[in-house]
A and B are shown apart, each in its own frame.
Chain A
Amino acid sequence: MKFEPREHTIAILFLVPAVIGLLIFYYYPIGYTFVLSTFSLDHTTDLTANAFVGLRNYTNVLRSGPFWGSIRFTLFFTVVSVSLELSFGMVLALATYWVWPRLTALLRVIIIIPWAIPQIIEASMWKWMYNTDVGLIGDLIVRLGLTDKPPLFLADPALAQWSVIAAYVWKGSAFAAIFLMGGLALVPLELHDAAKVDGARAWRRFWTITLPMLMPTLLVVLLFQTIDGIRVFDIVYGLTGGGPGTTTDTLSSFAYKYYFKFVQYGMGSAYAVVTFVLVLAASIVYIRRVQPHFRFKGLE
């Protein structure tokens, strides 16, 4: 590929600001966190105080019961959330296309709003709704006759996990729906016409035409949602703070506590590194499996 020196220089110049920014605030911090994880840093970040401990933090991590709890919950959380988000999102996206055309724009706005609300604010909203005495959700459940007393959504260890998942899925489905709406738009209308004439009713058309053609978009959504699930923080922190105890701690919230509650920079970093590795693993799996199918137009 021939390229003029001038254009090459311009290219580098254009990229430099972004690259520098990323280096300073992404790549350097990542490396530094790795370094921090090998030190024992109690209420200090001074590395010169001879606190190098190698991998001892990691052994502590692996021995910590709450840590394994947080991994278990994070994985559970991710799997359940992603499944629910994709399903609901699919239904929502299809609804915007099925509905009487005048209502489509309205429906789209309704779907986008949950996505736009900051996650931490959403957490506060749900916290109030989950309030045992006067919360909306408890009240509705009692009115529907499912139980006589509103349950302890956030205090009951078994229930709290599902409460967090529900709140997260509420917003996540909207995100998935938006993506899937775009994906649906890519399916040429003509194919539906052809399928109709060929004898396919709506159900068959969905499974044999729409869904296969939606695959690229679905996979992208799957990736984003999975990564978001593993690194979830805001909703947990805002809704339960990881509680009761540590039953709803995810990797990120757990690590954050070590950083800024216990102020153990070393241990916190170790946890952060573990989270990082998991996310990286998921991304690599995805890229290996799926990326070969996709090419970015304009780069050829």
Chain B
Amino acid sequence: MPRILAQDITKQFRSVVALDHVSMEFEHGKLTVLVGPSGCGKTTLLRTVAGLEDPTSGDIYIGERRVNDVPPWHRNTAMVFQNYALYPHMSVFDNMAYPLKARGTPRKEIRERVEGTARSLGIAELLRRKPRELSGGQMQRVAVGRAIVRKPDVFLMDEPLSNLDAKLRVEMRAELKRLQKNLGVTTIYVTHDQAEAMTMADKLIVMRNGHILQAGTPEELYLRPNSVFVAGFIGSPSMNFSGCRYDPDRGLLVAPAFSYRIPEQLKAVASHSAGAPLVLGVRPEDVGVSTEPQPDAIGATVYMSEPLGRENLLTLEIGDSTFKVLAPPEILVTLDQRVWLTLNERRVHLFDDATEKSLTNTNGLP
């Protein structure tokens, strides 16, 4: 089962540059997720690997073979589409049999493999039905079935779960992940949903405007984002940001609404930036809330409290800025109450305001 290599891929549609000199290796047997906002180029990259798009420049390798000139039907990739793309005039059986028929597989073998795959996906009783008679979840399984029935080298999935309702989506995530692990097929998975990306990825790639911003394991991207965008994109609720400057004499990061004693490990990088505008970032789950004043704490006013069950999401106002904090349910607050925030020192991030890059985590940055 080969790995996939995209080398310096640029794709230009008329005046729009969808991919800008993108290079990436998709490891063999792993589930790599491409995530990012609409228009970031993730689907374009996927389609380029499939052969449905032709790169303006750059090379694609599947295994050791350069496949730029190989048409999609010879690349031995399988694709699951967002809208499933099931052939409406064919039965489920014929849909799943299509790729096998296209390759001239003998009829008996087709039947065995389709029925076997259908059974493993729990859709065996649907084989005679037409797509329009199926529910969303069932159609999705048929689409997956069509992809796996031929044992391809690569799975390509373009937001396969986006059209399902929330609960089904969560279920199917787990199932797809398990399926991929069992089959061990190199998979590229595209989604715009960061939660989905985090749960499914062996390796996670964040894209924006045709560039790869950062690639790594979900934990790496969560703990060590290399830019404001990645930091804000990964994790929900998103990271809190506040503009600030470093005051080396007093050892403080000075923001419009508050001052914060800079953690030791950030002192070095902060002094390098010598007074340039910075961005302070801290996740809602990395902020402690107290109803009593604390030393070195930041004062804030409660704007809103949303109980989420296992925790409360507090929206706080510090001066003109808004901070979101996840607090344990025991801490009860009322509107407009004054509270004090302590930041988890090891989870505080500093970014350069101009370049939006992290000062500490420079992995994956050009």
- Interface set of A (CB-CB < 8 Å, partner B): 188, 190-191, 193-201, 204, 208-209, 212-213, 215
Contact = CB atoms under 8 A, between A and B. Distances in A.
A197 B98 contact: no
A267 B81 CA distance: 65
9 contacts: A190-B83, A191-B87, A194-B79, A194-B87, A197-B50, A197-B77, A200-B98, A209-B87, A213-B88
Which one of B51, B77, B86, B98 has the highest number of Cβ atoms from chain A below 10 Å of its Cβ?
B98
Contacts, number: 60
Given A194-B79, A197-B79, A204 B85 contact: no
A198 B71 contact: no
Contacts of B232: none
Contacts of B78: 197-198
Given A197-B78, A199-B102, 19 more contacts: A190-B83, A190-B85, A191-B85, A191-B87, A193-B47, A193-B72, A193-B81, A194-B79, A194-B85, A195-B87, A195-B102, A196-B51, A197-B79, A198-B73, A198-B146, A199-B73, A199-B99, A200-B73, A200-B102
Nearest to B143: A194
B108 interface: no
B103 interface: yes
B167 interface: no
A196 B85 contact: no
B98 A208 contact: yes
Which one of A190, A196, A197, A213 has the highest number of Cβ atoms from chain B below 10 Å of its Cβ?
A197
Interface in B50-109: 50-52, 71-73, 75, 77-79, 81, 83, 85-89, 98-99, 102-103
B99 A198 contact: yes
B96 to A, nearest CB: 10
Contacts of B87: 191, 194-195, 208-209
A188 B98 CA distance: 17
Contacts of A195: 87, 98, 102
Contact of A198 (B83, B89, B102, B156): B102
B148 to A, nearest CB: 12
A193 B49 CA distance: 13
Interface residues of B, number: 25
B85 A193 contact: yes
A198 B52 contact: no
A190 B89 contact: no
Contacts of B71: 196, 201
Interface string B140-170: 0000001000100000100000000000000
Given A190-B81, A190-B83, A208-B98, A196 B52 contact: yes
Contacts of A194: 79, 81, 85-87
Nearest to B75: A197
A212 B89 contact: yes
A194 B85 CA distance: 6
A193 B52 contact: yes
Contacts of A188: 85
A297 to B, nearest CB: 15
Given A191-B87, A193-B85, A201 B79 contact: no
Contacts of A197: 50-52, 72-73, 75, 77-79, 156
B6 to A, nearest CB: 17
B320 to A, nearest CB: 47
A100 to B, nearest CB: 14
Contacts of A196: 51-52, 71-73
Contacts of B89: 212-213, 215
Interface in B10-25: none
A247 to B, nearest CB: 44
Interface in B310-341: none
Contacts of B86: 194
A199 B99 CA distance: 6
B73 A193 contact: no
A193 B75 CA distance: 13
Nearest to A215: B89
A200 B73 CA distance: 6
A54 B313 CA distance: 93
A82 to B, nearest CB: 24
A134 to B, nearest CB: 50
A273 to B, nearest CB: 41
A288 to B, nearest CB: 22
Contacts of B51: 196-197
Contacts of A209: 87
B352 to A, nearest CB: 42
Nearest to B82: A190
A39 to B, nearest CB: 53
A2 B52 CA distance: 52
A198 B81 contact: no
A209 B102 CA distance: 12
Contacts of B150: 199
B74 to A, nearest CB: 8
Nearest to B72: A196
Contacts of A204: 102
A108 B196 CA distance: 45
A256 B52 CA distance: 58
CB-based closest 9 A-B pairs: A199-B102, A194-B85, A198-B99, A196-B72, A190-B85, A197-B79, A199-B73, A212-B89, A200-B102
